[in-house]
Protein backbone atom coordinates (compact mmCIF):
# COMPACT_ATOMS: atom_id res chain seq x y z
CA UNK A 1 0.00 0.00 0.00
CA UNK A 2 1.41 3.34 -1.09
CA UNK A 3 1.29 6.25 1.34
CA UNK A 4 -1.16 8.00 -0.99
CA UNK A 5 -3.65 5.11 -0.88
CA UNK A 6 -3.41 5.05 2.91
CA UNK A 7 -4.21 8.80 3.07
CA UNK A 8 -7.07 8.35 0.66
CA UNK A 9 -8.52 5.47 2.68
CA UNK A 10 -8.32 7.53 5.87
CA UNK A 11 -9.93 10.48 4.09
CA UNK A 12 -12.69 8.24 2.68
CA UNK A 13 -13.40 6.87 6.16
CA UNK A 14 -13.60 10.36 7.67
CA UNK A 15 -15.91 11.42 4.84
CA UNK A 16 -18.14 8.40 5.42
CA UNK A 17 -18.32 9.11 9.14
CA UNK A 18 -19.16 12.77 8.45
CA UNK A 19 -21.85 11.84 5.92
CA UNK A 20 -23.40 9.31 8.26
CA UNK A 21 -23.44 11.91 11.04
CA UNK A 22 -24.98 14.57 8.81
CA UNK A 23 -27.71 12.23 7.59
CA UNK A 24 -28.66 10.49 10.76
CA UNK A 25 -28.36 13.09 13.53
CA UNK A 26 -31.39 15.17 14.45
CA UNK A 27 -29.53 17.88 16.27
CA UNK A 28 -28.55 20.69 13.90
CA UNK A 29 -25.19 21.22 15.70
CA UNK A 30 -24.21 17.60 15.20
CA UNK A 31 -25.26 17.75 11.53
CA UNK A 32 -23.01 20.78 11.20
CA UNK A 33 -20.13 18.84 12.80
CA UNK A 34 -20.71 16.02 10.30
CA UNK A 35 -20.49 18.48 7.42
CA UNK A 36 -17.25 19.89 8.86
CA UNK A 37 -15.84 16.37 8.98
CA UNK A 38 -16.65 15.80 5.31
CA UNK A 39 -15.02 19.10 4.43
CA UNK A 40 -11.84 18.18 6.29
CA UNK A 41 -11.76 14.79 4.56
CA UNK A 42 -11.76 16.66 1.28
CA UNK A 43 -8.93 18.93 2.58
CA UNK A 44 -6.93 15.86 3.54
CA UNK A 45 -7.35 14.56 -0.04
CA UNK A 46 -6.13 17.87 -1.43
CA UNK A 47 -2.97 17.81 0.69
CA UNK A 48 -2.33 14.11 -0.09
CA UNK A 49 -2.65 14.59 -3.84
CA UNK A 50 -0.36 17.62 -3.67
CA UNK A 51 2.32 15.86 -1.56
CA UNK A 52 2.46 12.73 -3.72
CA UNK A 53 1.61 14.41 -7.00
CA UNK A 54 4.01 15.37 -9.86
CA UNK A 55 5.02 18.83 -8.51
CA UNK A 56 5.33 18.72 -4.72
CA UNK A 57 7.73 21.74 -4.84
CA UNK A 58 4.96 24.13 -5.87
CA UNK A 59 2.76 25.61 -3.13
CA UNK A 60 -0.50 25.32 -5.04
CA UNK A 61 -1.98 22.35 -3.15
CA UNK A 62 -1.24 23.83 0.27
CA UNK A 63 -2.70 27.20 -0.83
CA UNK A 64 -5.84 25.46 -2.01
CA UNK A 65 -6.24 23.68 1.35
CA UNK A 66 -5.70 26.91 3.30
CA UNK A 67 -8.36 28.69 1.18
CA UNK A 68 -10.71 25.82 1.73
CA UNK A 69 -10.18 25.96 5.53
CA UNK A 70 -10.78 29.70 5.52
CA UNK A 71 -14.03 29.27 3.56
CA UNK A 72 -15.01 26.42 5.92
CA UNK A 73 -14.46 28.69 8.92
CA UNK A 74 -16.72 31.34 7.40
CA UNK A 75 -19.26 28.68 6.54
CA UNK A 76 -19.19 27.32 10.06
CA UNK A 77 -19.85 30.81 11.38
CA UNK A 78 -22.84 31.24 9.03
CA UNK A 79 -24.10 27.75 9.87
CA UNK A 80 -23.93 28.34 13.59
CA UNK A 81 -25.58 31.71 13.14
CA UNK A 82 -28.43 30.00 11.27
CA UNK A 83 -28.79 27.38 13.98
CA UNK A 84 -28.96 30.04 16.69
CA UNK A 85 -31.52 31.97 14.69
CA UNK A 86 -33.62 28.81 14.19
CA UNK A 87 -33.38 28.09 17.88
CA UNK A 88 -34.51 31.55 18.81
CA UNK A 89 -37.37 31.25 16.43
CA UNK A 90 -38.58 27.72 17.13
CA UNK A 91 -37.07 27.03 20.57
CA UNK A 92 -35.49 23.84 19.20
CA UNK A 93 -32.58 22.62 17.16
CA UNK A 94 -34.30 19.41 16.09
CA UNK A 95 -34.26 19.22 12.31
CA UNK A 96 -37.35 16.99 12.25
CA UNK A 97 -39.32 19.95 13.60
CA UNK A 98 -37.94 22.52 11.18
CA UNK A 99 -39.69 21.49 8.00
CA UNK A 100 -41.03 24.81 6.83
CA UNK A 101 -38.75 25.09 3.79
CA UNK A 102 -41.46 23.73 1.47
CA UNK A 103 -41.99 25.56 -1.76
Residues that bind other proteins (CB under 8 A): 19, 22-23, 31, 95-96, 98-103
Q: How far is the CB of 100 from other proteins (least distance, A)?
A: 6
12 Cα distance to chain centroid? 12
Between 27 and 60, CB nearer to other proteins: 27
Q: How far is the CB of 83 from other proteins (least distance, A)?
A: 12
Between 55 and 88, CB nearer to other proteins: 88
In our burial notation (b when 16+ CB lie closer than 10 A, e otherwise), range 15-42 reads beebeebbeeeeebeebbbbbbbbbbbb
Between 10 and 30, CB nearer to other proteins: 30
Q: How far is the CB of 96 from other proteins (least distance, A)?
A: 7
Q: How far is the CB of 58 from other proteins (least distance, A)?
A: 27
Q: What angle do CA 39, 45, 48 make, to 5 degrees?
A: 145
Contact 32, 80 (CB under 8 A): yes
Amino acid sequence: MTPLSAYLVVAALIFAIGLAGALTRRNAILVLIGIELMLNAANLNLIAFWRYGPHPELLSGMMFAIFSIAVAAAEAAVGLGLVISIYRHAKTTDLEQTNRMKG
